[in-house]
Each structure stands twice: as C-alpha cells, then as structure tokens.
C-alpha cells in the first residue's frame, strides 16, 4: 500500500516538475525511469490521467522507444554496439562471447541481478571499435579479453 | 610556473582510458614534485592518437599519443612534460600531418581548450557570427546563408538558406529552431565531437537561425547514447545564458532566444526530421507525411527550422567571415567543407575536415592508412547504414553530393566505414534489412513489412533456396521500398542491399 502511495506521489511530483513543457511525456518518462530504474506498470494510468492522455497513448510512447523498460534492470546495464563500424572490427564475435559468458541473450538479466544485456546501434565511437557501454561509461576497442577484465572490475570494485 | 597539460574529456578519449590517465599523470607528477595544470579539452578528432596528451611550453603545444596510464612512468622518465625523445612523442601538435593537412573551419577550435570556457571560445572568434547577425536585418542573414551555398549536413543536403527563407516568409507569432542532434548513423561522430569539443558553436548557430527567422525558442534533440555530450551541452546552455548569449534581450539587442535540451530514447528513426518533431511533442516518433513541410508546419504546427548540428555550426563561419569566404571552399554545387569520419576497420580513424572534392581513396589511404587489421580493404560503406557499399573500382570517386549520386551512392552525414576482406557482403545486406526492421517507425508498409521480408528473402538466397528467383524478388522488393516508403529509412535501406548485390555478387552465391 505504502508503495502505491509512494509511486503516486513521486510520479505526480515529476509531472508537476515538467508542467507547461511542450511534449512533456518524454522527459517525464525519462525522469520516472531515472527514479525507479524502470517505468512501473502502475505509472501508466497515472501519467495518462495527469497529462490528459489515453492509457494507450502513454503505453504506445513508452514501448516505441528502446530506452524505456517495464522491468527493473540489473545492477549494471551492458549495451553492445551491433552497428556496421563495430561489425567491421569483429563485434559479432564479441557479442557472442559476451552472451556465452553471461549466459543471457539481449533483453535479459543475469540470474544474480548483476547484469542486463542490451543491443545498441552506435555509440559514436566508430573510429575505435568494437564499442560497448556499461552504465554511463563507453569503452573502445573491446576484445573478449578486455571485456572479461571490465566484468571482473565491476564484480570486485575494490580490486 | 606550472606546465599546462591537455587531456581530452571526449567520449572516445575516455573510452580509451583518458580519465584513468589523468589520475595517473597527477599521481606521477606529485611523486616527482612537478607542478601541472591539467585542462580537460575536447578532442581534435585524431581518434587514432587518443588519448592524445599535450604539454604546453612557451605557448607551443607538444603532443604525445596514444598514451595509456601504463605509459606514464616511462614518459616522465623520458623528460615529460619537458623535452623528451619518448617513443610516444609526436612533436608539435599543429605539425602532425594528419591534422595539418586538413582544411578546418567548423572544427578549427576543436580540441584547443576547455569546451565550456566562453572566454576561450570568444578569444578564438566565437560569437562573432551572432554579433554580426544581431546587427543585420533578418533577410540579410538569410541571403548570406543562401549565398554561401551551404547544404544541410545531416544527410539530405537541402539548401539551408532556402529552408530558412521559407520559415522567415511564413507568418507566425511563434516559430521554433530545432537542432537534430540524433546522430544515429553508424560510422559518424562529427556531431558528437562538435558538441563535446565546441558546444558554443552549435548554440551560436542556433541563435543566428533564431534571429534570422524570428524564432524565440529552440530545442536540441540529442540522442541518449551520448552521455558526455549531454553533460557538456547542459552546462554550456547555462553558461551561455549567464553570459547573455541566450535568454532575454541577447547582448542588448532586444532579441530573445530560449534554448532547451531534450534527450531521445534510443530510436534511430527520430533522426528523421518529422519523426523527431513528433518525438519532441511527446509522441511516438512516427514519420509525418510531407507536405506540409516542417518549415511551414513543424513543431506544434508552427514554422520550424530543423537543421543538423553541423549545419548550424557552419552558419557561424558564414556569418563571421562572409558567404564568399565559405563558398570558396568546395566544388560545383557542393560548397564549403565536408566533415568526413573515418571509421570501422581503419588504421588512423577520426574526423577529417576538407573542402569538397577529395577522392574516397585519398581519405582511406592517405588519411586512414588502410585497415586496422592490416588486411586488404574490400568494401567501404559511405553515408551511414543507408549508404552504399563501394568496391575498389569506385574508390576514386570524388566526395561530393553529385559525384556519389552518379554511382548510386550518397554522402549522407559523411561517415566512411571500412571493411577488410573478411567481410561477408551478403550478411551486410541482410543486416541492412534487419536494422530497418528493428528501427522502422512502422507507419508505412514498404518499410515496416518490406524490411522483414527482405531479411527472409536474403536468408533464402544465402541458403541457395530457389536462388535466382529470390534474387529477382529481392530486387523487386527493393524497388517497392525505394518508391513506396514514406521517408528515407525505408527508401534508402535498399541502397546498401543493392550495392552489395551489384558489386559483391559472389558473396550471395557461397
């Protein structure tokens, strides 16, 4: 019950923060996701009523964009670039290695809740590929071995 | 006196360890009791040399690169930050041929200093274009842009001045300036580099547009995949407002311009201008029918200038130095400079700004130095994921809009992605269709369904299932997509597919 009240208060406060903005739904969804780590299902009817939109419209916007998720992500989000400039430097092999290593496919989270794996189409790091992004850090010329080191440093941040 | 050290805060530099490098250099300098002042500059775009460290001595800058944290101790042992014969020493930065031989206008300032220092920006000629624009009649500004011959740098190459004229001529109390910073094409990073290295140039260009067409509000639509650019732009807007280059009564001119930053959410299609406008309005990013043109009914149905980052940036040069100056660079109907981005399997990747008219071969061989893997180059994709794959016999093509169109290719946003002989072009063709299927907005059938069918048909061709008939079918499908799609996404996806079939036919017959 408390959770529902919290959600309502938080979402309402976010909407108030964006009052008067053109096309506020996008920045609002970003803010909701920033707060909760995802866009909770219960937020959709709430946003619809606060913004005078239909639930279908809010749902439609949320699911149109790859960034918005309806489930919590793992502790770290790993985005592997699948686009051409990375392909030219062997990103398909890297992608396969990462999937094997983590034991998950794109769109999935490891059982321990540590990592969510997502595809991304270009990180703008195309001169030093393959590229991937872990949370807000982008990494260049990532080899399978380099990825394993990165993974290790995330698992043991003190090391 | 302490020595100034420059270490870029650019995405690629950081992706290669620039932040760790800063810590390592600070620690080593402290250990040796050397006083340093570290400036986090933007990148000069020589990404193959990143992290590129510069040390400033008697007004001259000496480059070292690529430097990693592991090199720091040896670098100091060799005399860094003073004179050193260390293997990573590159001599004077401005004498590095890769940089020296470029013709930089838009990226002239990139990497020279702290991107957020307004003083530094103005010291190097920044805001001169806007200052001049504020003294001109709107029509005179638009005329100047028209005379410069500037064509949209986002990819469509529509004359910028004509677009501005339409917005100026359309009556309306409320008009908008929108910057398309949704640089989604693989192999491109020029917009990102500009926003991270010289953000005030974009702000200045947008403000000039606002003054020219009578708009008082603008939006930068930045893709979410660029977290560093986001941070820099947010701060740059605050600083520009504080210095009264944005906001109310800019520099006492009586003109207002309020600029907002909006972040996309991972949809490639939002780089298409009408889809971008719908996204800005808080909707799904669906492509709109044209007409009406955004210049007449754009954001919220109001007259709107939508331009790419580099187009706005180029306008600052046009205004500051005159249309004639800008126009003198280039060839035929492609005027000014072009920012090419060497990417993929390339030895010396990065941003190369040159007047139009150099050949692709000069770019990938002279600047790029061949492949990173050292294997022979086999295919070059020019113009992003919707651009053609070019085989060796076409590499002597001149890089301008018309010459590329003649060989059924396009310049797009200037991305050049090199592949070595390990590439399977049938798979590249398949990926073009797959990407379209993933990123299509879904509004029109040729794109939404054609792309899915495209993947299926290419799979059949690869599997040698009724191959000849399926090749014909794929050609037909491509034709339908080209002619029947609502926007360039569906309309141009056949370009990489058909070029792969045309020039690399045997890859489809393995």
Q: What pLDDT, on a 0 to 100 scale, did the predictor assign at position A159?
A: 44
Intrachain domains B120-327 and B425-509 with the same fold: no
Using CB atoms, pick whichever of B192, B265, B345 lies closest to residue A67. B265
CB contact under 8 A, B15 and A65: no
From the list B223, B286, B209, B277, the residue with the least C-alpha distance to B447 is B286
In B, residues 214-243, which contact A (CB 8 Å cutoff)?
A: 219, 224-228
Band (pLDDT 50/70/90 cuts) for residue A3 is: confident
Instruction: Determine contact: A87 vs chain B, CB below 8 A.
Output: yes
Look at B343 and A26 and tell me if their CB atoms are within 8 Å.
no
Determine contact: A109 vs chain B, CB below 8 A: no
Regions in chain B scoring below 50 on pLDDT: none
Tell me yes or no: is domain B330-420 CATH 3.10.20.600.
yes
State how far residue A2 is from chain B, nearest Cα, in angstroms: 30
CATH node for B120-327: 3.40.50.11540
Q: Which positions in chain A touch B12 (Cβ < 8 Å)?
A: 125, 127-128, 138, 140
Chain CA centroid to CA B305, Å: 19
How many CB pairs (< 8 A) connect A and B? Answer: 156
- For residue A131, give the nearest of B15, B262, B345 by CB distance: B15
Q: Scanning every residue of chain B, which has its alpha carbon at the shortest distance from the alpha carbon of A140?
A: B15
- d(CA B472, CA B468) in angstroms, rounded, equals 6
Instruction: Inform me whether the C-beta atom of residue A129 falls under 8 Å from chain B C-beta atoms.
Output: yes
Q: Is residue A4 over pLDDT 80?
A: no
At residue B1, the pLDDT reads 60
CB contact under 8 A, B265 and A65: yes
CA distance A1 to chain B (A): 31
Beta-strand relationship, B176-181 and B217-222: parallel
Q: Token pair 């270490």 is at which residue?
A: B7
Q: How far is B455 from chain A (nearest CA, A)?
A: 16
Contact B417 A124 (CB under 8 A): no
Rounded to 10°, the helix B494-503/B467-484 angle is 140
The answer to whether the beta carbons of residues B383 and B468 sit under 8 Å apart is no
**Could B417 and A27 be called an inter-chain contact, meaning their C-beta atoms sit closer than 8 Å?**
no
Nearest to B412 by CA among B293, B310, B274: B310
B440 touches chain A (CB under 8 A): no
Distance in Å, alpha carbon of B158 to nearest chain A alpha carbon: 24
- What are the tens digits of pLDDT across the range A25-83? 999 999 999 999 999 999 999 999 999 999 999 999 999 999 999 999 999 999 999 99
Option in B187, B226, B285 nearest A85 (CB): B187
Sequence ranges of the domains in chain B: 3-100, 120-327, 330-420, 425-509
CB contact under 8 A, A140 and B341: no
Smallest Cβ–Cβ distance between A127 and the set B183, B343, B431 belongs to: B343
Task: Judge: domain B425-509, CATH 1.20.1440.230.
Answer: yes
Q: Nearest C-alpha of chain B: how many angstroms from A29?
A: 10
What per-residue confidence (pLDDT) applies to B360? 98
What letter would DSSP give residue B288?
P
pLDDT at B85: 83
Whole-angstrom distance, CA of residue B474 vs CA of residue B480: 10
pLDDT score at A35: 96
In words, the CATH class of domain B3-100 is alpha beta
The beta-carbon neighbor of A85 closest among B15, B265, B343 is: B343
In chain A, residues with a C-beta closer than 8 Å to the C-beta of B187 are 83-85, 126
**Minimum CA–CA partner of B10 in chain A:** A125
- For the stretch A90-144, pLDDT in tens is 999 999 999 999 999 999 999 999 999 999 999 999 999 999 999 999 999 999 9
Q: How far apart are CA B496 and CA B379, in angstroms?
A: 11
* DSSP 8-state secondary structure symbol assigned to residue B271: G
> Do B202 and B194 meet the contact criterion of CB atoms below 8 Å apart?
yes
State which fold the A76-155 domain adopts: Glutaredoxin (3.40.30)
pLDDT at position B331, please?
79
Question: Looking at the partner chain, which of A67, A81, A126 has a beta carbon nearest the beta carbon of B224?
Answer: A67
Residue B221, token pair as written in the block: 């639509």
Nearest to B47 among A22, A61, A127 (CB): A127
- Please indicate if any CB of chain B lies within 8 Å of the CB of A22: yes
Q: Distance from A100 to chain B by nearest Cα, in Å?
A: 22
Closest CB to A126 among B187, B285, B431:
B187
Please write the tens of the pLDDT for every residue from B191-237: 999 999 999 999 999 999 999 999 999 999 999 999 999 999 999 99
Nearest chain A residue to B269 by CA distance is A65
Residue B439: list chain A partners with CB under 8 A: 121
Question: How far apart, in whole angstroms, are the C-alpha atoms of residue A129 and residue A84?
Answer: 10
Which residue among B47, B284, B349 sits closest to A60, beta carbon to beta carbon?
A: B284
DSSP letters of B26-84? HHHHHHTT--EEEE-----S-GGG-S-EEEEETTEEEEE-S--GGGHHHHHHTTTTSS-
A20 touches chain B (CB under 8 A): no
B342 at interface of A, judged by CB pairs closer than 8 A: yes
Q: Check if B279 contacts A (Cβ < 8 Å).
A: yes
Q: CB B186 to CB A68 under 8 A?
A: no
Nearest chain A CA: its distance from B36 CA (Å): 26
Residue A158 has pLDDT above 60, yes or no: no
Show the tokens assigned to B245.
């280059």
CB contact under 8 A, B282 and A22: yes
Q: What does the DSSP assignment read for B470-509?
A: HHHHHHHHHHHHHHH-SSHHHHHTHHHHHHHHHH-GGGGG
Q: What residues of B are in contact with residue A26 (Cβ under 8 Å)?
A: 262-263, 265, 279-280, 282
């Amino acid at each position: 019950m408390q959770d529902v009240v919290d959600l309502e208060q938080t979402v309402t406060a976010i909407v108030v923060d964006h009052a008067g903005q053109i096309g506020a739904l996008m920045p609002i969804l970003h803010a909701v996701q920033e707060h909760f780590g995802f866009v909770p299902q219960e937020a959709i009817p709430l946003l619809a009523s606060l913004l005078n939109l239909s639930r279908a419209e809010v749902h439609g916007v949320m699911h149109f964009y790859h960034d918005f998720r309806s489930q919590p992500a793992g502790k770290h989000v790993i985005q592997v670039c699948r686009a051409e400039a990375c392909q030219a430097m062997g990103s398909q092999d890297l992608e396969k290695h990462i999937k094997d290593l983590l034991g998950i496919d794109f769109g999935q989270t490891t059982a321990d809740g540590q990592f969510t794996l997502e595809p991304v189409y270009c990180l703008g790091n195309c001169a030093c590929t393959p590229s991937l992004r872990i949370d807000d850090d982008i990494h260049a010329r990532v080899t399978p071995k380099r990825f394993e080191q990165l993974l290790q440093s995330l698992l043991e941040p003190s090391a | 006196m302490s020595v100034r050290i420059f270490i870029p805060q650019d995405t690629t530099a950081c992706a290669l360890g620039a932040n760790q490098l800063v810590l390592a250099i600070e620690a080593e300098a402290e250990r040796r009791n050397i006083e340093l002042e570290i400036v986090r500059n933007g990148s000069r775009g020589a990404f193959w040399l990143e992290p590129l460290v510069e040390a400033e001595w008697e007004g001259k800058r000496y480059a070292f690169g690529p430097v990693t944290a592991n090199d720091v101790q040896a670098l100091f042992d060799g005399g860094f930050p003073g004179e050193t014969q260390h293997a990573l020493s590159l001599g004077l930065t401005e004498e590095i041929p890769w940089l020296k031989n470029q013709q930089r206008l838009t990226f002239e300032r990139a990497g020279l200093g702290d991107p957020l220092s307004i003083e530094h920006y103005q010291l190097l000629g920044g805001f001169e274009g806007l200052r001049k624009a504020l003294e001109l009649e709107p029509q005179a500004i638009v005329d100047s842009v028209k005379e410069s011959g500037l064509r949209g740098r986002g990819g469509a190459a529509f004359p910028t001045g004509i677009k501005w004229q339409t917005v100026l001529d359309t009556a309306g109390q409320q008009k908008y300036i929108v910057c398309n910073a949704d640089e989604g094409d693989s192999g491109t990073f020029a917009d990102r580099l500009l926003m991270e290295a010289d953000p005030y140039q974009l702000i200045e260009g947008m403000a000039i547009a606002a003054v020219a067409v009578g708009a008082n509000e603008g939006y930068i639509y930045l893709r979410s995949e660029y977290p560093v650019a986001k941070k820099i732009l947010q701060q740059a807007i605050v600083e520009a407002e504080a210095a009264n280059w944005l906001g109310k009564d800019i520099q006492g001119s009586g003109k207002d311009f309020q600029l907002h930053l909006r972040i996309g959410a991972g949809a490639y299609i939002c780089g298409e201008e009408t889809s971008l406008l719908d996204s800005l309005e808080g909707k799904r990013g669906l492509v709109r029918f044209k007409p009406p043109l955004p210049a007449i009914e754009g954001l919220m149905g109001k007259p709107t200038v939508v331009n790419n980052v580099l187009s706005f940036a180029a306008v600052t040069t046009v205004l500051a130095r005159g249309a004639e100056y800008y126009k003198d660079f280039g060839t035929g109907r492609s005027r000014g400079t072009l920012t090419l981005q060497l990417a993929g399997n390339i030895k010396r990747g990065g941003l190369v700004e040159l007047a139009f008219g150099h050949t692709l071969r000069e770019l990938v061989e002279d600047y790029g130095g061949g492949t990173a893997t050292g294997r022979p180059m086999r295919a070059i994709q020019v113009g992003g994921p919707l651009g053609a794959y070019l085989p060796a016999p076409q590499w002597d093509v001149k890089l301008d809009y018309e010459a590329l169109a003649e060989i059924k290719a396009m310049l797009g946003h200037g991305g050049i992605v090199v592949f070595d002989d390990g590439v399977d072009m049938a798979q590249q063709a398949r990926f073009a269709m797959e990407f379209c299927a993933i990123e299509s907005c879904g509004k029109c059938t040729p794109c939404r369904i054609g792309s899915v069918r495209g993947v299926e048909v290419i799979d059949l061709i690869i599997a040698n299932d009724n191959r000849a008939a399926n090749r014909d079918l794929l050609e037909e499908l491509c034709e339908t997509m080209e002619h029947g799609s609502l926007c360039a996404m569906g309309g141009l996806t056949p370009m990489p597919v058909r070029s792969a079939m045309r020039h690399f036919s045997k890859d489809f017959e393995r």
